[in-house]
């Protein structure tokens, strides 16, 4: 019988394994509890104090990101939505979500293998659950037709988005667990099912994200470091140049031929860009997007100029934190891309998974979710933890990495 005390005790690998299964349930339930699942798993699996000390001094990307949070916190002084508690959530989130990812990274030996199997099983549970929901009418068995089903379908788009972001990790798991053509066939099936689920829900952003992730995964297989850097630079470009980039795209779009949800984005983005120009340096303050509640007429409906957030990460950075904020966030992103791409033990499978998942997240950031949504940042930590499992384990946490 395996002695857990020989490695890192039974608490951490079991806590993380159960945490992955708990996260799967939260994602299937609509992903709103994803932040709670990641936080609980991270706290239950917290490494010993002597290991936590190795997080200090802070890695440069994390240090710059904390400076960005401090700036966002300061911006509450002039925010048009000053009652926000978002700064507290951001500060706690960056610590707790990072703790979960670090706890997974630091596992070794059979403890790491147990968690790898648990994470692969949890991903399979999510995929099969949404397949049942999308194609087997699970909701219709649980809820009456009408408002209840509509609410569940709306909530499911968040969970499906989390699934799509993790699909490249699923491809990597398939290659690890089923060598040869079986792994490639299993990976193709994962991609097809996720694409079909997105199509069934009309989640066009999810379908686009899977295509982008597939392209980046394939390129990352051959050029992992270069691909990760290119994705990082693309993210920085989409943040820094968001007003100009979106304005250029809007100039080429005929709103009349778009579905209503996209046509409303066009109106909202025009409005947001105009507000950014008014306070480009400092922004309107954290969570100011929520304060633009005046309505305008869209067909037969009166809808707010901004529906909670601009549905574009870069535009929200500009609107709320200004040039200072978007510069800090972009600097943190650049340092993170450099740090990951230059990792001495980065393998092609891990590099492909990181590039593919990062590309999928970038699609959602450009087209869908709010910049500060806790579940999406927890999703990033969840995916990052699984990307750690795809790569090699740390040989010894006390050993200095070689200079390569």
Q: Tens digits of per-residue pLDDT, 270-308? A: 999 999 999 999 999 999 998 888 887 777 777 888 888
Q: Are 320 and 68 in contact (CB under 8 A)?
A: no
Query: Per the domain annotation, does 253 fall within a domain?
Result: no
Query: Per the domain annotation, does 115 fall within a domain?
Result: yes
* 306 C-beta neighbours (distance < 10 Å), count: 24
**21-25: long-range contacts, CB 8 A cutoff, minimum separation 24:** 21/118, 21/121, 21/122, 21/125, 23/122, 23/382, 24/122, 24/123, 24/125, 24/126, 24/129
- Which neighbouring-strand residues pair with 151? none
Residue length of the chain: 404
pLDDT in tens, 94-150: 888 988 998 898 888 888 999 999 999 999 999 999 998 877 765 554 444 544 444
Query: Per the domain annotation, does 357 fall within a domain?
Result: yes
**Confidence band of 53 (pLDDT split at 50, 70, 90):** low
Query: Per the domain annotation, does 363 fall within a domain?
Result: yes
Query: Per the domain annotation, does 65 fall within a domain?
Result: no
pLDDT in tens, 71-109: 999 999 999 887 778 888 888 888 889 889 988 988 888
Query: Per the domain annotation, does 287 fall within a domain?
Result: no
Q: Domain residues for 144? A: 8-57+86-236+351-390
Query: Per the domain annotation, does 121 fall within a domain?
Result: yes
Query: Per the domain annotation, does 241 fall within a domain?
Result: no
**Structurally, how many domains does the chain consist of?**
1
pTM over 0.75? The answer is yes
């Amino acid at each position: 019988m395996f002695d857990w005390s020989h490695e890192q005790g039974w608490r951490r690998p079991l806590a993380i394994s159960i945490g992955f299964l708990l996260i799967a349930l939260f994602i299937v339930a609509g992903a709103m509890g994803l932040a709670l699942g990641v936080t609980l798993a991270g706290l239950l699996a917290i490494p010993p104090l002597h290991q936590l000390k190795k997080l200090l001094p802070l890695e440069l990307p994390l240090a710059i990101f904390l400076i960005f949070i401090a700036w966002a916190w300061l911006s509450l002084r002039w925010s048009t939505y000053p009652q926000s508690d978002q700064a507290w959530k951001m500060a706690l989130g960056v610590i707790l979500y990072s703790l979960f990812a670090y706890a997974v990274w630091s596992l070794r030996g059979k403890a790491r293998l147990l968690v790898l199997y648990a994470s692969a099983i949890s991903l399979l549970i999510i995929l099969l659950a949404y397949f049942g929901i999308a194609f087997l009418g699970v909701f219709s068995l649980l809820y009456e037709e009408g408002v209840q089903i509509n609410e569940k379908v709306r909530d499911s788009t968040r969970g499906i988005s989390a699934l799509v972001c993790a699909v490249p990790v699923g491809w990597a798991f398939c290659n690890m667990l089923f060598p040869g053509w079986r792994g490639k066939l299993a990976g193709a099936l994962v991609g097809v099912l996720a694409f079909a689920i997105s199509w069934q829900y009309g989640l066009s952003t999810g379908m686009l994200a899977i295509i982008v992730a597939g392209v980046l995964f394939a390129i990352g297989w051959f050029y992992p470091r270069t691909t990760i850097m290119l994705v990082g630079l693309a993210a920085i470009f989409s943040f820094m140049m968001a007003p100009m980039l979106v304005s250029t795209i809007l100039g080429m779009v005929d709103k009349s031929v778009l579905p209503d949800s996209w046509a409303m984005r066009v109106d909202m983005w025009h409005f947001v860009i105009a507000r950014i120009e008014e306070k480009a340096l400092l922004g309107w303050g954290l969570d100011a997007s929520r304060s633009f509640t005046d309505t305008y007429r869209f067909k037969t409906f009166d809808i707010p100029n901004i529906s909670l957030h601009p549905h574009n990460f870069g535009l929200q950075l500009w609107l709320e934190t200004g040039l200072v904020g978007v510069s800090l966030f972009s600097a943190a992103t650049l340092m993170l891309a450099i740090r990951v791409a230059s990792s001495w033990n980065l393998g092609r499978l891990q590099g492909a998974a990181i590039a593919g998942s990062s590309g999928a997240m970038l699609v959602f950031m450009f087209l869908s979710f709010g910049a500060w949504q806790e579940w999406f940042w927890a999703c990033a930590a969840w995916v990052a933890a699984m990307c750690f499992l795809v790569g090699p384990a740390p040989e010894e946490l006390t050993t200095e990495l070689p200079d390569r």
